């Protein structure tokens, strides 16, 4: 079961475990992580599950797809090179230890 660390905008860290095949967004919702609104429930239609992937994990997670990058343009906080929609990051053993930073706001 991969572990994911969520770092809030004020620096608080929360580490949770998730099932292989689950998205980072699903892991956040299951574990009541504040800062992941996920209004569309993972349909890539709202950008309210925006996260900044820690730089050391960016290559393993990979870049946003074109449709995802377009949706990130609607994020409440400015997207960066490591921005992803957490609903589009599928967890597996290769992402065990993943660190994502939460933006100051989602809406």
Helices (H) and strands (E) in the chain, counts: 3, 5
pTM: 0.95
Residue 107: pLDDT band with limits 50, 70, 90: confident
CATH superfamily for 3-101 is Beta-grasp domain (3.10.20.30)
Q: How far apart are CA 102 and CA 83, in angstroms?
A: 10
Residue 23 token pair? 């998205």
Interval 58-76: pLDDT, tens? 999 999 999 999 999 999 9
CB 79 within 8 A of CB 72: yes
Domain boundaries, the chain: 3-101
Interval 89-102: pLDDT, tens? 999 999 999 999 99
* 29 CB neighbour count, 10 Å cutoff: 19
């Amino acid at each position: 079961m991969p572990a994911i660390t969520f770092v809030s905008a004020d620096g608080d860290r929360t580490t949770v475990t998730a099932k292989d095949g689950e998205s980072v967004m699903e892991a956040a919702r299951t574990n009541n992580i504040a800062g992941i609104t996920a209004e569309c429930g993972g349909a890539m239609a709202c950008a309210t599950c925006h996260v900044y992937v820690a730089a050391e994990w960016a290559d393993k997670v990979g870049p946003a797809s074109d449709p995802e990058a377009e949706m990130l343009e609607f994020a409440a906080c400015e997207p960066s090179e490591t921005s992803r929609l957490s609903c589009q990051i599928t967890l597996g053993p290769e992402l065990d230890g993943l660190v994502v930073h939460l933006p100051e706001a989602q809406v």
